[in-house]
Amino acid sequence: MFADRAKIYIRSGKGGDGHVSFRRELYVPDGGPDGGDGGNGGDVIFEVDEGLNTLTDYRHKRKYAAQDGQEGGKRNCHGKSGKDIILKVPEGTVIKDAESGKVIADMSADNRRQTVLKGGRGGIGNQHFATSTMQVPKYAKPGQPAQELEVLLELKVIADVGLVGFPNVGKSTLLSRVTNAQPKIANYHFTTLSPNLGVVDLDGDGFVIADIPGLIEGASEGVGLGLDFLRHIERTKVIIHMVDAASVEGRDPIADIHAINKELSAYNPEIAARPQVIAANKIDAIWDPESNPVEKIRQEFEPKGIKVFPISAVSGQGLKELMYHVKNILDTTDHKPVVFEQEFFPEDMLIQENLPYTVEKSSEEEHTFVVEGPRIEKMLGYTNLDSEKGFAFFQKFLKDTGILEDLKKAGIQEGDTVRMYGLTFEYFH
């Protein structure tokens, strides 16, 4: 069965604890501290796999954990870092926090690999705590805890054009005629169980079209399979409404279009506002040419700016004109792919605690400010500042916690330096 949703539990690795030990060698009295540092915990990484088109694997196994970091050892031995766990998903998978429904990552466009949970940083051994006054430190720092989260994986197919319509209007036949897709075609009164995608090639230039199944009245309220598949239309830029103009099964094509638009509006008004085209299918089966049902559809929708194309998916009549019109619409719309922005930062969970921090002007270096404290150290331990998203989170953290405001109060100026536990930044408004 096609699986486009899965709920899984993920956990990063805990950082290994720092070690407490002292040198014990023959002829070396009162050996100093030599406890090694713990290894970092492994990360939980999501990666796009071009060979996947379903989330079936995540239906069978629900728990995924990266490896914990090893504890530090004697003789300054550094603990081994835990292995990352890499979870492969199809392109178009959106990762959400299961509790809030907020987006953590959208695995599409340029985002092919993203660290969702960072492993805990390893603790430091007692060798680091030796001072002139404390030569035998009997404590080390524990490793930072693991992160854990329940996430919802949702596959939202990546297509330029969404083909919508009630069962048996001929969507699968149309898709097989205009693309390289090979959908199963039959007279089903239920509906196709998975979205079919195909590429329309127009003189070397083309677009991706998806047959979006399951749209029936009440779909946006969860009736039938509708709600399960409405998400697949979220990335599309143009919607083709396909109707049975001949009313072979006694359906009213005008009522069908209004019904589907109502479902789209109920699910997401922005989708219903996107450019639409109507494919009035089965014109070869119209038995009473004088009634001219296509003209009735035109009178209803063309004044609203929705063009109507009479077609026969079986014979191919009118398909070329329809496809070129859709391509013209796509050429005049925004070419940027529809990507869902990150709304939920897992790092936030770890630094919500009201831990202290200090913001001070350096007494040793001119134009330099030092920010320190457990809250800062904890945040830096879980944030990948090398990634664009990690740095965006870091900037948000500075603003939300009031650190930027505190720096201003301390007198920071444009171009001054900010130091945080070995990291150096230049301050800009």
DSSP letter string over 325-348? HHHHHHHTS--S---PPP---THH
Tell me the C-alpha to C-alpha distance, in Å, between residue 220 and each of 234, 241, 259, 365, 419: 13, 17, 11, 61, 51
Distances in Å between the Cα of 308 and the Cα atoms of 211, 243, 276, 280, 322 are 19, 11, 10, 7, 9
Q: Kindly report the CA angle at 412 between 408 and 415, in degrees rounded to 5?
A: 130
SS3 of residue 380 by DSSP: helix
Q: Residues of the chain whose pLDDT is less than 70? A: 1-3, 25-31, 131-136, 180-195, 214-229, 287-290, 348-355, 378, 381-387, 389, 422, 429
Report pLDDT for 346. Answer: 82
Nearest CA-CA partner of 73 in 23, 108, 26, 121: 23
Contacts of residue 303, defined as CB under 8 A and 6 or more positions apart, other chains included, come to none
pLDDT in the model for residue 50: 85
Q: How far apart are CA 107 and CA 47, in angstroms?
A: 7
Strand, helix or coil for residue 420: strand
Stretch (H or E) spanning 89: strand 85-89
pTM for this predicted structure: 0.67
Residue 186, pLDDT score: 41
**Tokens 């766990």 sit on residue:** 85
pLDDT at residue number 183: 43
